[in-house]
A and B are shown apart, each in its own frame.
Chain A
């Protein structure tokens, strides 16, 4: 530190230290802690209080919509027999001031007071049992489903657990709004629901506020098994597969009550890590000779050409670099056409090789995409090897293999470790490569699973648990790898 102050001066050092601290705080500590916090909280909509709140909100919405509808329908005729669409016209809605401004019957967030933020679609618990009378009551003149406001609404529970509702958990009477009843009756019924649920909601809120907000249940989702319905024939085929037998052995796949269960998320996670490791190994095998040639074996001019060949693809945007492969591996792509041309396969007869279905294609594209990250650390370290050592080894009678095993590899180990770690992390987190190359024709990589949890299923709490677990696992693997390589951190400075 004093050395730094001497060479850069106090001001620059303070600025630099501040930048580093800010970076560590904003880009490492804060996001990871946020992710951890998020991953340990149950999704807000799965809380019992949110369910209760939703029921109350539905009831309130029901009342306000009935009011609006009645006001607009009064001049004409009886509402229950009206055949027209029940969307109230806003223009002559006299009671549209009390928060129900839109008057639309779809329950909206704005329609309930104080229920800010919560998701308004209470569809999780399977909902209330639909009113048995609804199907044969086509006379309902409005589109509001007042029957959602019922104490029979279920809480969010594990699929295996006993279902619970406001009735079974709190002993509330079974209350619901009957669509066929008159408006006044419906309003009374809805009010009854509100009155019954209000104390329960208060109690739930109090209970949740005092309880520990954290639970590992999101992480449990990672190892949860899902039942896979299979016909006996399909099951026989699946059972015969080696990968499935392996899964059976380690408990990733099992049979319960005659139904096959698979821990799909865990399988995806482990397969991603395995594939990433395999791609890293492939990259290492491809890159070692390149790096050796570049650093130690080539004359200056040859090394320049090799270097250019490595760097030029990196002048292309990554997405384009990956996409270039699609035209090669497609069913009617360059590879299949070439094979067709030389008579190996017959495209007409549908003999195209399904490259896009093969994990090997993804490996190859990953190696191509991230090759520099493997080559450069190795070149850097290898170029510091004294060539005389190679000659000395050769002169003492060592074979080429022994020269590499005893001299080049031990010397290049820090570079190999850095290259492997970088490539492994890039491959494990690869999103564009598996997505673009396989386009859904292969099982997804875990990064895709995380993406889907966050942005497709909107279950960001589980997504957070996935990504946090993934980060930790990768970290453990990297640490394990470093331990295996006996690579010390200070060696990495050389690389």
Chain B
């Protein structure tokens, strides 16, 4: 089933609601035709608003939206080459599965016979052949998901917009559906714009990811790039876990910078070329932190490779199958560690240990707002 994706361009688009709340600040974004593009951000960051603007339910307050080079201003959702998959799927419960899939064709005046034929072909695509006469409520969560996809694809959209459609599924099913969505996207060649707050989804499926916070797209890039080379404090803290050390840039050493923090003077890469005296944050991923006394594990790059070493005591140890999560306490602050569960990961004693991380794995970024931690979210 070959369809043709179109590119989507946001040209200085901003959206301010009548109550004065600016959901999306002026944004330029170019999504290529046939791309699987994710917009990742915490709830309330404006990502759904962008989606609704592209699908036509919300008019931009300023700027333009171009799909395939055509300005979409003034076109209602029923006249745009887009199809939206809702978070709750919004299947029509009183219609059978195939009628659901064929609804868009019905709206376009396709004859009943052709409608059914096309619906069947789509149900083949999503592996639902044989379920066509059931009601959506008789299907499982994953099957309903696939009906929603087939229904959206039935109108042969150039752009498929997905609003966290997997969030209601079980973990296993969600992982499976990720692969399936990717697969369908490849087969059809339609541009997918995928909205999610789940970084795992965004990173596994997408060609490119945009990370969004408070109405602003902070970074756009390939999954690897966003994870390993975040450009802002928010992206570094939102995508994946990170230990954050706040401080001021104390000295520069070529590409590297020393940051004076309460935990000590720490060294890390300085891609943004921060000047001495600038407020900075040093980020290091839990999987890059290891024990520095060789006997205690010799993590990733060995005890000798650690440019940053300090004392810490074990506070908590959580086993997560192949990994062990440790929470260490160094003075006033906690440091998360993520070790391979190879039997040698646990520290021998409760007493102070030497832990550290490589300078190459640490990233110095300008100080800025951070993503909320689980603890902060729980307290809201």
**Hey, which bits of chain A sit against chain B, CB under 8 A?**
386, 388-389, 391-399, 402, 406-407, 410-411
**When A391-B90, A395-B83, A396-B151 are in contact, do A406 and B78 touch as well, CB less than 8 Å?**
no
B86–A391 touching, CB < 8 Å: yes
B94–A410 touching, CB < 8 Å: yes
Count of residues in B whose CB is under 8 Å from the partner chain: 26
Q: How close is A161's CB to chain B, nearest CB, in angstroms?
A: 59
- B155 beta carbon closer than 8 Å to chain A: yes
A395–B84 touching, CB < 8 Å: yes
- B55 beta carbon closer than 8 Å to chain A: yes
A393–B103 touching, CB < 8 Å: yes
| Smallest Cβ-Cβ distance to A390: which chain B residue | B90
| Smallest Cβ-Cβ distance to A392: which chain B residue | B90
Chain B residues, CB < 8 A from A396: 78, 83, 103-104, 107, 151-152, 154-155
The 10 closest A-B pairs by CB, nearest first: A388-B90, A396-B104, A392-B90, A397-B107, A398-B107, A397-B78, A395-B77, A395-B84, A388-B86, A410-B94
Chain A residues, CB < 8 A from B17: none
A392–B78 touching, CB < 8 Å: no
Q: With A397-B104, A397-B155 given, name 13 new contacts (CB 8 A).
A: A386-B90, A392-B90, A392-B91, A392-B92, A394-B77, A395-B56, A395-B78, A395-B84, A396-B104, A396-B107, A398-B103, A406-B103, A407-B92
Contact with A along B85-112 (1 / 0, CB 8 A): 0101011101100000001101110000
| Smallest Cβ-Cβ distance to A402: which chain B residue | B107
Whole-angstrom distance between the alpha carbons of A393 and B76 in the complex?
12
A389–B77 touching, CB < 8 Å: no
Contact with A along B116-138 (1 / 0, CB 8 A): 00000000000000000000000
Contact with A along B146-162 (1 / 0, CB 8 A): 00000110110000000
A388–B77 touching, CB < 8 Å: no
Chain A residues, CB < 8 A from B82: 395
| Binding site secondary structure of chain A | helix
B90–A389 touching, CB < 8 Å: yes
| Smallest Cβ-Cβ distance to A398: which chain B residue | B107
Chain A residues, CB < 8 A from B152: 396
Q: How close is B281's CB to chain A, nearest CB, in angstroms?
A: 40
A399–B78 touching, CB < 8 Å: yes
Whole-angstrom distance between the alpha carbons of A406 and B99 in the complex?
11
A395–B55 touching, CB < 8 Å: yes
What are 7 pairs between A and B in contact, CB < 8 Å?
A: A392-B90, A393-B103, A394-B57, A394-B78, A397-B155, A398-B106, A398-B107
Q: How close is A87's CB to chain B, nearest CB, in angstroms?
A: 81
Q: How close is B149's CB to chain A, nearest CB, in angstroms?
A: 13
B88–A388 touching, CB < 8 Å: yes
Whole-angstrom distance between the alpha carbons of A393 and B57 in the complex?
12
Partner of B88, one of A386, A393, A395, A399: A386
Chain A-chain B contacts (Cβ-Cβ < 8 Å), number: 65
Q: How close is B376's CB to chain A, nearest CB, in angstroms?
A: 30
Chain A residues, CB < 8 A from B106: 398, 402, 406
Chain A residues, CB < 8 A from B55: 395
Q: How close is B65's CB to chain A, nearest CB, in angstroms?
A: 15
Chain B residues, CB < 8 A from A386: 88, 90
B76–A394 touching, CB < 8 Å: yes
Whole-angstrom distance between the alpha carbons of A393 and B105 in the complex?
11
| Smallest Cβ-Cβ distance to B85: which chain A residue | A392
Whole-angstrom distance between the alpha carbons of A411 and B94 in the complex?
8
Q: How close is B48's CB to chain A, nearest CB, in angstroms?
A: 12
Chain A residues, CB < 8 A from B104: 396-398
Q: How close is A408's CB to chain B, nearest CB, in angstroms?
A: 11
Chain A residues, CB < 8 A from B90: 386, 388-389, 391-392
Chain A residues, CB < 8 A from B94: 410-411
Chain B residues, CB < 8 A from A399: 78, 107
Chain B residues, CB < 8 A from A411: 94
Q: How close is A116's CB to chain B, nearest CB, in angstroms?
A: 65
B88–A398 touching, CB < 8 Å: no
Q: How close is B189's CB to chain A, nearest CB, in angstroms?
A: 20
| Smallest Cβ-Cβ distance to B83: which chain A residue | A395
Whole-angstrom distance between the alpha carbons of A53 and B264 in the complex?
124
| Smallest Cβ-Cβ distance to A396: which chain B residue | B104
Chain B residues, CB < 8 A from A388: 86, 88, 90
Chain A residues, CB < 8 A from B78: 394-399
Whole-angstrom distance between the alpha carbons of A392 and B151 in the complex?
10
Interface centre among B84, B106, B107 (most CB of A within 10 A): B107
Whole-angstrom distance between the alpha carbons of A52 and B155 in the complex?
87
| Smallest Cβ-Cβ distance to A400: which chain B residue | B78
Q: How close is A216's CB to chain B, nearest CB, in angstroms?
A: 46
Q: How close is A156's CB to chain B, nearest CB, in angstroms?
A: 60
Q: Quick one: which of B36-60 are within 8 Å of A by CB?
A: 55-57
**When A395-B55, A395-B84 are in contact, do A389 and B107 touch as well, CB less than 8 Å?**
no
Chain A residues, CB < 8 A from B76: 394
Chain B residues, CB < 8 A from A407: 92
Chain A residues, CB < 8 A from B103: 393, 396, 398, 406
Chain A residues, CB < 8 A from B56: 395
Chain A residues, CB < 8 A from B151: 392, 396
Contact with A along B56-82 (1 / 0, CB 8 A): 110000000000000000001111001
Whole-angstrom distance between the alpha carbons of A397 and B156 in the complex?
12
Chain A residues, CB < 8 A from B77: 391, 394-395
Q: Quick one: which of B237-253 are within 8 Å of A by CB?
A: none
A397–B108 touching, CB < 8 Å: yes
Chain B residues, CB < 8 A from A392: 84, 86, 90-92, 151
Whole-angstrom distance between the alpha carbons of A393 and B93 in the complex?
12
Whole-angstrom distance between the alpha carbons of A402 and B106 in the complex?
9
Whole-angstrom distance between the alpha carbons of A398 and B92 in the complex?
13
Whole-angstrom distance between the alpha carbons of A406 and B106 in the complex?
10
Chain B residues, CB < 8 A from A395: 55-57, 77-78, 82-84
Chain B residues, CB < 8 A from A410: 94
Chain A residues, CB < 8 A from B84: 391-392, 395
| Smallest Cβ-Cβ distance to B79: which chain A residue | A397
Q: How close is B250's CB to chain A, nearest CB, in angstroms?
A: 53
Chain A residues, CB < 8 A from B92: 389, 392-393, 406-407
Interface centre among B56, B90, B151, B155 (most CB of A within 10 A): B90
Chain A residues, CB < 8 A from B57: 391, 394-395
Q: How close is A397's CB to chain B, nearest CB, in angstroms?
A: 4
| Smallest Cβ-Cβ distance to B55: which chain A residue | A395
Q: Quick one: which of B3-61 are within 8 Å of A by CB?
A: 55-57
Chain B residues, CB < 8 A from A393: 92, 103, 107
Whole-angstrom distance between the alpha carbons of A403 and B256 in the complex?
61
Whole-angstrom distance between the alpha carbons of A226 and B95 in the complex?
54
Q: How close is B89's CB to chain A, nearest CB, in angstroms?
A: 8
Q: How close is A111's CB to chain B, nearest CB, in angstroms?
A: 74
Whole-angstrom distance between the alpha carbons of A391 and B86 in the complex?
9
Whole-angstrom distance between the alpha carbons of A397 and B105 in the complex?
8
| Smallest Cβ-Cβ distance to A407: which chain B residue | B92
Q: How close is B171's CB to chain A, nearest CB, in angstroms?
A: 24
Chain B residues, CB < 8 A from A402: 106-107
Q: How close is A339's CB to chain B, nearest CB, in angstroms?
A: 42
Q: How close is A117's CB to chain B, nearest CB, in angstroms?
A: 61
Q: How close is B260's CB to chain A, nearest CB, in angstroms?
A: 52
Chain B residues, CB < 8 A from A389: 90-92
Q: How close is B91's CB to chain A, nearest CB, in angstroms?
A: 8
| Smallest Cβ-Cβ distance to A413: which chain B residue | B94
